[in-house]
Structure formats: C-alpha cells, structure tokens
Amino acid sequence: MKSLIMKGKSIKVLTRKASPLTERELEVLMLICREFSPNEISSRLQISEKTFFNHRANILAKTQTKSNVGLFRFAVQYGYCPLSNR
C-alpha cells in the first residue's frame, strides 16, 4: 500500500499486488460494473444472493471502497473495467 499526499491529506492507495482479487471476485466486480442487480449476478454465477453479498463485502474491503460507485472507480482506475459499451 502506498500513501499519497493531496491537499495536505494523506490518502492510502491500494495496488493490485497488495490485495489481489480472486477470479470469482473479479467476475462479481465486472458484473457490478455492468450494473447487474444482486439477483441477476447471483443467477448468472449460480450462487446465492448471500454468497454474492459476501463476495461484494470482500471486494469492498480489499479495494478500500464503500459503495458500488467506489468499486466502479477502482475497476476503471486499475484497468479491470475499460470505459466502453457493455
């Protein structure tokens, strides 16, 4: 983990190597970025919604984000989700 100083505040920045996402977590992240609902993601991946929310909680912790917007920003920033058509 690196720290950046912006406007006098220290901000921690996560690198991919610091806390890698599992293959399944990456699948969940991609579907979140494509705006699928928890129910749709669960159906596509053949997992329960509880398992989806567990994966999402793990992704949020690893990426140090708080919401789907944060996950999307993380995915774009680190090249997991290019800005293009679905």
CATH fold group of domain 21-86 = Arc Repressor Mutant, subunit A (1.10.10)
CA atoms of 23 and 78, how far apart (whole Å): 15
Q: What is the C-alpha separation between 24 and 55, in angstroms, rounded?
A: 8
With b meaning 16 or more CB within 10 Å and e meaning fewer, what string describes 32-56?
Answer: bbeebeeeebbeebebeeeebeebb
What is the per-residue pLDDT for 85? 58
Q: What is the mean pLDDT of the chain?
A: 83
Dihedral through CA 58, CA 62, CA 64, CA 68, nearest 10?
-50
Domain parsing of the chain, residue ranges: 21-86
Q: 14-23, 33-42, 55-64, 72-81 — which is least confidently predicted?
A: 14-23
Please write the tens of the pLDDT for every residue from 2-42: 444 444 544 444 444 445 899 999 999 999 999 999 999 99
